[in-house]
Chains A and B, each alone.
Chain A
């Protein structure tokens, strides 16, 4: 038994260096960035080895969300939200669609899979460079219709200044409440069939009350800004979204294809015997069974869309305000403008957004492992 405990000690000591590295490089660094975001570190002398810093509390955050200079950041944040939603919908939808097509076992399936997945192996810088050329005005994608005898498009993929789905940042608080109410109602409708009364009590009821309350009394909420500031979905980001979907739908395709192959043929035959059509089989049997895969895909794609930096850098360069993203803004603020404290605050905002869905996911995985 003494030998065994010696081995246990060896095992622990083997892991120890990695544990220390992770503790410092992940958790220590995150703590350090939080601290930095609460100082005024920036400007001249900020690159000195021991720069002068003063504690300023949450000032940097207040400035980003409500200050005069934070307008660019707010537009970037709105871009990131729209961008994430479009990327999730596009990459998961298209990936799932291709996986269903390939699940019909067409001839040349291997070649097709290779074609759909190769973008995934490329660097964002490589694909960004190529897509920038493809989306050039009066060229690339825009002239494609002429080969079918149609008029060329003249869409300004990366430089359009038009925006849709605009909202006023002043009303930020009521918008957030509407979003919360919408999410509650959607969750309620989702679980309604499983447990009706609980769904009404826990989700639907509070959601409707919150929504109605905001509609009636929203005017009483404080305004986030002293002036009107419109933000919306920038049409210029469409090109970037298209390139990201091109690059990542192969990935979701691979995930779903692996999932479809894991479903036993017996189950499929049984569904067919029960009179399910092909569409019915996917709609009611296969896709619901692959819910864990969908969750993984959502987590990974949101993570990718949040740290999106390289692709935008390569496609529109760092200085195009229309297609900005907080991840790019953070780099520019920190390493071009040497405004380390503000850069850290932007990084923390990104981190908090990421953590809100990654932490529950990891906790769920952990529980599963303990049970399994």
Chain B
């Protein structure tokens, strides 16, 4: 070790304390979900269960299964839609700039930063007028439209790395707008698609405000289902904890197995170019 020992003890000690703080909620959720309802009490909340009771999970799965399925459909459709459109937009924004395209791009980005409460009432009205209120298609539409700023941004930055000379020479060879996209840009953008889809998947899966305002009970996504499960007073805590774990598992899997792409999406979302 190059560093002095007191320094490294301090470093590892601090990191250990911080890790404990960050892992505390995960531990609490797991321990509580595995306890028998009768065993759950406030003073002994931190203690391990005496027997592992897996039935909370089967119960939570039973209760939240429709919400889970809704969320899967919603997330897959909206992610696919917003990613494909974002890729085309990013291609135009980075390789086919036209006078004023930078202003249009900036106006797009603004859509990413508005508090969504400001568009909620007209969105609700519009979906109602289009007969899309209450079901999944309306929610999918909302997620696709408001996903456009971030997906266009990520793809625009991603395509900026493709040398313009490559596009130019393809044009000299007679390739047009769409054939350049299909033959050159698209095959090169698989990592861009992975980053953008993971980002969108996480965002849409975790969304709550539109889920609760724009869907009827039968079409509630998992976050709304979990909030209702946890909101009741009589429910014992093992069930919401099992539900939380269930709602978290898909994104946690993405995060743990594809963490590199997840972090890239995170950094790309911070507008820095």
Contact = CB atoms under 8 A, between A and B. Distances in A.
A331 interface: yes
Contacts of A268: none
Nearest to B125: A32
Given A18-B152, A26-B114, A331-B213, A313 B208 contact: yes
Contact of A246 (B25, B107, B123, B240): B25
A340 B208 CA distance: 20
Contacts of A122: 206, 248, 251-252
Contact of A112 (B19, B42, B93): B19
A136 B98 CA distance: 57
A114 to B, nearest CB: 6
B223 A119 contact: no
Interface in A288-345: 292-293, 296-297, 299-300, 303, 306-307, 309-310, 313-314, 317, 327, 330-331, 334-335, 340, 343-344
B223 A310 contact: yes
B247 A246 contact: no
Interface residues of B, number: 101
Interface stretch (A84-92, A219-227, A251-259): A251-259
A114 B26 CA distance: 13
Nearest to B144: A21
Contacts of B88: 14-15
B120 A121 contact: no
A14 B28 CA distance: 50
Nearest to B231: A317
Chain A interface size range: 35 or more
A310 B42 contact: no
B132 to A, nearest CB: 13
Interface in B84-123: 85, 88-89, 91-93, 96, 98, 101-111, 113-123
Scoring B93, B115, B121 by chain A CB atoms within 10 A of each residue's CB, the highest score goes to B115
A125 B29 CA distance: 13
B75 to A, nearest CB: 12
Given A26-B111, A104-B11, A255-B270, A33 B119 contact: yes
Scoring A29, A49, A140 by chain B CB atoms within 10 A of each residue's CB, the highest score goes to A29
Scoring A133, A313, A347, A348 by chain B CB atoms within 10 A of each residue's CB, the highest score goes to A133
Contacts of B22: 115-116, 118-119, 246, 250
Contacts of A15: 88-89, 92-93, 101, 104
Contacts of B241: 129-130, 133
B223 A125 contact: yes
A54 interface: no
Interface of A: 3-4, 6-8, 10-12, 14-15, 17-19, 21-22, 25-30, 32-33, 36, 49, 98, 101, 104, 106, 112, 114-127, 129-134, 136-140, 143-144, 147, 246, 250-251, 254-255, 258, 292-293, 296-297, 299-300, 303, 306-307, 309-310, 313-314, 317, 327, 330-331, 334-335, 340, 343-344, 346-348, 350-351, 354, 358-359, 362-363, 365-366, 368-370, 372
Contact of B205 (A17, A123, A258, A346): A123
B117 A25 contact: no
Nearest to B269: A300
A4 B266 CA distance: 36
A130 B28 contact: yes
B115 A10 contact: no
B92 A347 contact: no
10 contacts: A22-B149, A27-B107, A118-B256, A123-B206, A123-B247, A126-B247, A126-B248, A307-B116, A351-B118, A354-B113
Contacts of B117: 307, 309, 327, 330-331, 346-347, 350-351
B223 to A, nearest CB: 4
B72 to A, nearest CB: 15
Given A123-B223, A369-B102, 20 more contacts: A18-B89, A25-B119, A98-B18, A115-B22, A119-B22, A121-B262, A123-B248, A124-B208, A126-B206, A129-B240, A136-B45, A139-B45, A140-B42, A292-B272, A296-B270, A307-B115, A307-B209, A309-B208, A331-B120, A331-B212
